[in-house]
Each structure stands twice: as C-alpha cells, then as structure tokens.
Amino acid sequence: MEDWKRRRLSVILFTGITLGWMVLCYIAWVASGCKPFMPFISDFDLFEPGDTLFTLGTFFTSVTVVWMMIEIQLFNRERLIEKQVGWGWHILNHAALLPGMVAAYSTYMVGQTPWNVDGYMHGSYAFEIFYKGIYWCVMANIVTARIHWGSPTLSRILVARGAPCIAAIVGLWQMLTNQASVWTEGFDWEAWNQGPTDMMEFCTSRQHPALEVAAAWEFVLCLGIVFTVFSFLLDLQPSPEFSPEEE
C-alpha cells in the first residue's frame, strides 16, 4: 500500500471509529429513556449497553490514534525535509507525539475507569485527553503552517485545521466554566457518585442545567479534536508535488 493511502486509512479509521461509538452510545442512552440533552460522554459508561460500547470504543480509538499520529508525524517529517527547514521544526514535529501518546493512553484508561467507581482517576484521565489532545492539535497546526507557507493551499488547510482546533479550545473553556458554577467547594460529591445507582433517576434528572451545558461543550471539545485530525485528508492525497516517486 502506498504511503498516502495507508495514512489516509489511519485517519479515516480513527475518525470513523471514534464518531461511530459516540453516536451509538448516544443512541443507546436516548433509547433507554434518558434525557437527550445532555449527558457527559463518560456517562455512557455507567449503564448497558453504553458501558460495553464505551469500553470497546475507547480501546479502538486509543489504538487507531497511536497509528494515526505516527503516520502524520512521518508525513510532516517528509514535508519538512523537502522544505529544508531548520532543526527546530523537526523537534516540534517529533515533540507533538508526546502529548498525543499521553492522550491515547488516557483514552484507553478512561474506558476502564468509570467515574462512579473512581471519580478522581477518571477525571484525571479525562483531562489528560482534553489538554493533551489540544496540545497535539495546536502543534500540528503550527507545523502545518510551516509546511504550507507560501503555498496557495495555506489558507484552505489552515481554516480546515484551525477552525476545529479553536472549537476544541473554546469547548474546553466553556465546559470548565459551566462545571465550576456547579462543582463548588460545598458540592456533595458523595451523593453525586451515588447517583447512578438509580439509573432512571440519574439519567433523567435536570437538577443542574449548567452541567448539561458543560456536557454539550464537552462534545464540541472532543469533536474539535477529531475533526482537526480529519482535516489531514486534505494533505494526504496523491499529487505531482508529493508523489511516491519523489520521496
């Protein structure tokens, strides 16, 4: 398989698998009689069949995201070599793997650690995904700008890659803002962690509207990261400029 086809496949599989299990989990949540607006993504892990879908989904996402990041790193390296850029750009390209790998590991672990079982560790893994995923997106955008600098494709690529990256950043900010309005110092965490023992009471409760808004912004955050990755399909195409014979 040619490099560009293999790399496209990694992006398509990561995107398809991640969006696939998120959609299936949401459908299962609503079909169970739970409120459609708005669960946190991790809430899907509390009840079957979402529990199984969430655990399998995060596993396959963690596997495909590692493959995808390595493929993107190799693609960028080749383009940077062709551009004959300074060593600093290569360091940045390689360094992007570090937060990416942490996010990948945390994706796997968040699927193994329901928040009602170990809320602290679940939260730690989730925020590693959010922050490290955004770090990877930002670093990927910077490297992209250098690769396409002076090219007629620069604006198109940066819009396609930068817009979802910005959406992810805004999503994180808004999610934290809305969470902070509810999860204050006096919040009853013990009662909250006991909530899922009564499935229908928990998943239909509208006690904290701000958390529903926070959950919606969490989806924006995660989808922003996914579609930042998806934008690399614009790069991973056969062209005279980057043909296999020239590599």
Cα(164)–Cα(145) distance, integer angstroms: 15
Tell me which amino acid residue 174 is. Answer: Q
Which DSSP string do the residues of 65-105 spell out, in sequence order? HHHHHHHHHHHHHHHHHHHT--HHHHHHHHHTHHHHHHHHH
User: 214 pLDDT exceeds 50?
Assistant: yes
In the chain, the number of structural domains is 1
Residue 244: what pLDDT? 42
List, in order, residues 6 or more apart from 190 with CB less than 8 Å away: none
**Residue 55: what pLDDT?**
96
Residue 142 near residue 100 (C-beta atoms within 8 A): no
pLDDT in tens, 145-184: 999 998 998 999 999 999 999 999 999 999 999 999 999 9
Query: How many CA atoms lie less than 13 Å away from 106 in the CB half-sphere?
Result: 20
Q: How far apart are CA 32 and CA 75, in angstroms?
A: 44
Please compute the mean of the pLDDT values over residues 59-72 and round it to a whole number: 97
64 Cα distance to chain centroid: 12
* Alpha helices by DSSP H, the chain: 3-31, 50-83, 87-95, 97-110, 119-147, 154-180, 189-194, 199-204, 209-230
Q: What is the average per-residue pLDDT within 52-80?
A: 96
Q: Which domain holds residue 215?
A: 3-246
Mean pLDDT of 51-79: 96
137 neighbors 167 (Cβ within 8 angstroms): no
Q: With contact defined as beta carbons under 8 Å apart, do 93 and 83 qualify?
A: no
How far, in Å, CA of 26 to CA of 78, rounded? 39
Whole-angstrom Cα distance, residue 157 to residue 153? Answer: 6
Query: What's residue 106's pLDDT?
Result: 97
